[in-house]
Amino acid sequence: MEAILLGSAAGGGVPQWNCRCTICRLAWTRDPRVRWRTQSSLAVSTDGARWVVINASPDLRQQIADTPELTPHEGLRHSPITSVVLSNGDVDHVAGLLTLRERQPLALYASEAVLGLIEANPIFRVLDQALVTRRAVRLGDPFVPLDGMTVTLFAVPGKVPLWQEGVATAGGTDGSTVGLDISAGGRRIVSIPGCAAVDSAVLARLEGADVLFFDGTLWHDDELMAEGVGVKTGLRMGHISMAGERGSIAALRDVAVARRVFVHINNTNPVLIDGSPEHREAERAGWEIGYDGWRASL
């Protein structure tokens, strides 16, 4: 199985268009310690020719342009991307669907809760129903997006998208936020770009994975407030933070995964500064800090 991390940042990217927080300022001034990062997306393949894109970020066009494996290279109209799977309905995970218009056959897989959001929003009709087949997936039921690849969606603690708050009341573990358990050729990748808490069901899913991609939004729960760029805690946003006794680094310490990679990293998170104490602490705990173009061949 092949994996390419197309985008390693949370909503907004690094730097975010209107932000001058500590890390965005470093990025704007091209400080070599802070890589620019696009918004959250991952591509997986069994043969390097056909790819499943996990989450369609607003930066998808740039991500395709930056990734030779994903550019068209046959006939008049072509894409190596054969399907898209969504892990939630957040803007940073669905807005890129609009980039995939222009009559390209695709399959779109998501939980009923997430697909329902797409169906309810008429702008997504630009993806012609006759060509882009919507497939509502039941949690726990494996599906086959590519020959030789099996994907199972499982609920993780989370919440409805920001833009649905006050409209929908659902949240928790109803399928509005899911993780993906991806198997091919005897290898397993687990991708959980958004997660509010590590419970026993999440832990059980990770066991034995070759690669884990995990929600790395924040270092500290109150980081947005401390930087003066927001009033919400991580938990309020549906994201567990990395640090502390209740953080993801501690919660996942004993789980048996070969490689663990933080993704969906917010521009306030000090792990984004290469060599920072937080970056070094995460690496000492066995974590890789995901970056755009990170690749693995399993």
Question: Where along the sequence are the contacts to ligand MLT (CB under 6 A)?
Answer: 10-11, 90-92, 162, 194, 237-238
Tell me which residue has its CB nearest to ligand MLT. 11
Give how many residues touch Zn ion by CB under 5 A: 5
Instruction: Decide: is 42 part of the binding site for Zn ion (CB under 5 A).
Output: no
- CA pseudo-torsion sign 54, 60, 64, 67: negative
Candidate residues 16, 70, 81, 90; the one interacting with Mn ion per rule CB under 5 A:
90
Judged by beta carbon, residue 145 or residue 161, the one nearer Mn ion is 161
| Choices 8-16, 218-226, 254-262, 270-278; region in contact with Mn ion by CB under 5 A | 8-16
Q: Is 11 an interacting residue with respect to Mn ion (CB under 5 A)? A: yes
The answer to whether residue 24 forms part of the interface with Zn ion (CB under 5 A) is yes
Find where tokens 């705990």 sit.
285
| Residue 51 in tokens | 């790819």
Instruction: Determine, following the binding rule CB under 5 A, whether residue 227 of this chain makes contact with Mn ion.
Output: no
Stretch that binds Zn ion, among 103-111, 233-241, 263-271, 288-296 (CB under 5 A): 263-271
**Sign (positive or negative) of CA dihedral 68, 65, 42, 286:** positive
Closest distance to Mn ion from the beta carbon of 187 (Å): 27
Distance between CA atoms of residues 258 and 128, nearest Å: 40
- Whose tokens are 């990734």? That residue is 67
Residue pair 289/283 in contact (Cβ under 8 Å)? The answer is: yes
Pick the binder of Zn ion from 9, 19, 64, 182 (CB under 5 A). 19
**Minimum distance from residue 14 beta carbon to Zn ion (Å):** 7
Question: How does DSSP assign 124-176, residue by residue?
Answer: GGGS-TTTEEEEEE-TT--EEEETTEEEEEEE-SEE--GGGBTTB--EETSSS
CB of 110 to ligand MLT, least distance (A): 16
The nearest distance, CB 217 to Mn ion, in angstroms, is 7
CB 277 to Zn ion: min, Å: 19
Residue 223 interacts with Mn ion (CB under 5 A): yes or no? no
**Rounded Cα–Cα distance for residues 274 and 270 (Å):** 9
Cα–Cα separations (whole angstroms), residue 215 to 10, 108, 148, 192, 264:
9, 22, 27, 6, 6
Q: What order of strands is seen across the sheet that includes strand 295-297?
A: 132-137, 106-111, 81-85, 51-54, 41-45, 2-7, 295-297
Q: Between residues 38 and 79, which has the closer beta carbon with respect to Mn ion?
A: 38
Task: Pick the binder of Mn ion from 21, 46, 84, 92 (CB under 5 A).
Answer: 92
Residue from 3, 4, 9, 21 in contact with Zn ion (CB under 5 A): 21
Q: Tell me how far the alpha carbon of residue 273 is from its chain's centroid.
A: 20
Rounded-to-integer distance, Cα 72 and Cα 79, Å = 5
User: Which C-beta is closer to ligand MLT: that of 158 or that of 270?
Assistant: 158
Q: Which of residues 188 and 213 has its CB atom nearest to ligand MLT in the complex?
A: 213
Binding site for Mn ion (CB under 5 A): 10-11, 90, 92
